[in-house]
Chain A
């Protein structure tokens, strides 16, 4: 039969020589390879203590953005929900009342905003659809939970910390990824 590749090697059927029959040189050769690895760089990390950096295109848990004054960007326009292939997002809108201008950026805001993380496939289409710079996929995993209900994230869980009242947490939530420059009117 014609060989498929030219890498096939015929097995030698010769009887072992003396050196080969005592096996020691082969054992030392193998040990040397094992020994060498003790001095090379470790490819794994000790996970909970040490965390590996995310790739710049990593898509994790969603966050709802606020502007510099700490107002919510989301206007409940529904474009993320209609773009979502897994139908994971639901929301309900409400009208901003007089005196709430410091809370919401526009006339309309999301009164409830829920993402079902069991449904979410982290495709990032919600981030792309958003006209208001309001939803981003962050550098966080969805943590494990004990029951399904806890995987439905509500607005309070998704919102980024307020940059005015809680600046530290806000900076932390922003992460260290270079900020995307978006063309926005």
Chain B
């Protein structure tokens, strides 16, 4: 026993000396710094080999390890100890070892387990996507679509909760919650006093505020952005429009709040701002600028709903497969005006303005 421990210690110290570890994810080998989690190593590769994550959020310390959607198979633990790990591991918590071989999409076991996890996540999820404001940018929707089964085997009544008002800005739908704890981490790490958390245990566990207290911190709106499902949604946007009918544009403003980055995505329809969110990266997380996460304050998010409040930079790039990009015309090639040329430099005398008659794109 003693010698075994010594041996392990030796291996560990040998490995720590190395500056980079070699890890293979789905037959793609790369070098990562020690202490990187398997999930982050896979994210460095990007694309299909990245396991989906519902609770892990790279910008929130301590998140992860709750939803089990990022399960991967470790076919070889390390070069020193090449035995496979007996169970599937949560890639957001498992750090890489030198010579580790990880299987994600190449492992049938993982695909099977993930389908099971999705089924569990959807046990109590109400599937009210037609009325949910998150539909179209919901991570659980994507996950269910990619990994889930079409039907449910659950025959019992889904858990329901009493409706609770948690303030003027955020709408809480506890039935949709998957208990990822991201919003509590936001409250702990971004805002200065947390007034909400998870109350009760097991099947009764619910997000709630301390005796119906309103969440009114200046950065509380970021909970909406980190929520992977429609449990926390923007009350000012509630039922206003579907996500895919609004056009996202990047915009910024000089926010007085020193902690607010002032860079946001405006969701427009015509010139009307329906919603303001922080900008998201390819993993659906809030973007970072120079190592600082771009959280935005509640003033930017809920009160600045005029295009004149913002400096618009341009249309947000959306994935070609995203429903948000449907029916949006990014480049508008207007035909050249030929009338003046035909009439030898004279302008036609217009008796009426078609834009005012039809009320389509009026000039005023």
Contact = CB atoms under 8 A, between A and B. Distances in A.
B205 interface: no
B131 A108 contact: yes
B293 to A, nearest CB: 31
Given A93-B240, A93-B241, A108-B239, A79 B130 contact: yes
Interface in A55-105: 75-79, 81-82, 87, 92-95
Contact of B131 (A75, A92, A185): A75
B127 A78 contact: no
B239 A77 contact: no
A114 interface: no
A131 interface: yes
A82 B129 CA distance: 15
Interface in B273-309: none
Interface in B295-329: 323, 326-327
A77 B127 contact: no
A52 B234 CA distance: 53
A75 B130 contact: yes
B244 A78 contact: yes
A155 interface: no
A137 B128 CA distance: 24
A78 B245 contact: yes
Interface residues of B, number: 16
B326 A82 contact: yes
Contact of B238 (A76, A92, A95): A95
A107 interface: yes
Most buried by B among A77, A94, A131: A77
B323 A77 contact: no
Contacts of B240: 93
Interface string B236-248: 0011111011000
Contact of B239 (A87, A94, A131): A94
A138 to B, nearest CB: 22
Given A77-B242, A131-B130, 20 more contacts: A75-B130, A75-B131, A77-B129, A77-B135, A78-B242, A78-B245, A79-B130, A82-B244, A82-B245, A93-B239, A93-B240, A94-B239, A95-B238, A95-B239, A106-B128, A106-B130, A107-B131, A108-B131, A108-B239, A185-B127
Nearest to A132: B130
Contacts, number: 39
25 contacts: A76-B239, A77-B129, A77-B130, A77-B131, A78-B242, A78-B244, A79-B130, A81-B245, A82-B242, A82-B244, A82-B245, A82-B323, A92-B241, A93-B240, A93-B242, A94-B239, A95-B238, A106-B128, A106-B130, A108-B130, A108-B131, A108-B239, A131-B129, A132-B130, A185-B127
B327 A82 contact: yes
A93 B237 CA distance: 11
B323 A106 contact: no
B131 A87 contact: no
A76 B244 CA distance: 13
A77 B239 CA distance: 9
Interface in A113-137: 131-132
Contacts of B327: 82, 87
Contacts of B241: 92-93
Interface string A160-185: 00000000000000000000000001
Contacts of B127: 185
Nearest to A107: B131
Nearest to A85: B327
Nearest to B150: A183
Please list the 4 inter-chain residue pairs (A to B) with the smallest Cβ-Cβ separation, ordered nearest first. A77-B130, A78-B242, A108-B131, A93-B239
A78 B128 CA distance: 13
Contacts of A76: 239
A78 B131 CA distance: 10
A157 B323 CA distance: 30
A94 B327 CA distance: 23
Nearest to B243: A78
Contacts of A132: 130
Contacts of A131: 129-130
Nearest to A84: B327
Interface in A12-55: none
A82 B326 CA distance: 7
Contacts of A185: 127
A106 B129 CA distance: 12
